[in-house]
Amino acid sequence: MSRFPFSLMRTVTSQGLPPRQFPTSGYVALGPLDKIEEETLPLYKPENYYPVFIGEVFGSRYQVVSKLGYGTSSTVWLCRDLREGNHYTLKMCAKGESSDREIAISKHLKHSVIEGRKRMLRMVLDSFDVVGPEGRSFVCLVYQPLGMSFTEFQELLPDQRFSKDLIQRSTQLILIALSSMHESGVVHTDISPNNILQGVKDSSILSKIEEDEIKRPIARKILSDRSIYYSRPMPLCSGLPVVSDLGEARFGKEKYYGDIMPGIYRAPEVILGMEWDYKVDIWSIGNMVWDLAEDHHLFFAKENGTLSDEQHLAEMVSLMGPPPPEFLMRSKRCERFWDAEGNWKGSICIPEQTFGLRELHFSGEDKVLFLNFLRRIFRWLPEERPTAEELAYDDLLMQPIMVKEINKLGAQIG
Q: Which helix or strand (DSSP H or E) is residue 376 part of?
A: helix 364-377
Predicted confidence at residue 13, as pLDDT, reads 34
Predicted confidence at residue 295, as pLDDT, reads 83
**10-residue block means of pLDDT along the chain (414 residues)?**
40 67 95 94 95 96 97 96 96 92 96 94 96 92 96 94 96 97 97 96 95 97 96 91 96 88 96 97 98 94 93 98 96 95 94 96 96 98 98 96 64 57
Give 24-30's long-range contacts (Cβ < 8 A, gap of 24+): 26/217, 27/217, 27/218, 27/219, 27/220, 28/219, 28/220, 29/219, 29/220, 29/221, 29/222, 30/219, 30/220, 30/221
pTM to 2 decimals? 0.91
Predicted confidence at residue 134, as pLDDT, reads 84
Predicted confidence at residue 378, as pLDDT, reads 98
Q: Which helix or strand (DSSP H or E) is residue 118 part of?
A: helix 115-118
- For residues 180 and 169, give the distance between their C-alpha atoms in angstroms, rounded to a whole number: 17
Half-sphere exposure for 342 (CA within 13 Å, toward CB): 13
Burial class (CB in 10 A: 0-12, 13-18, 19+), 196: buried
Instruction: Tell me which residues are annotated as active site.
Output: 190
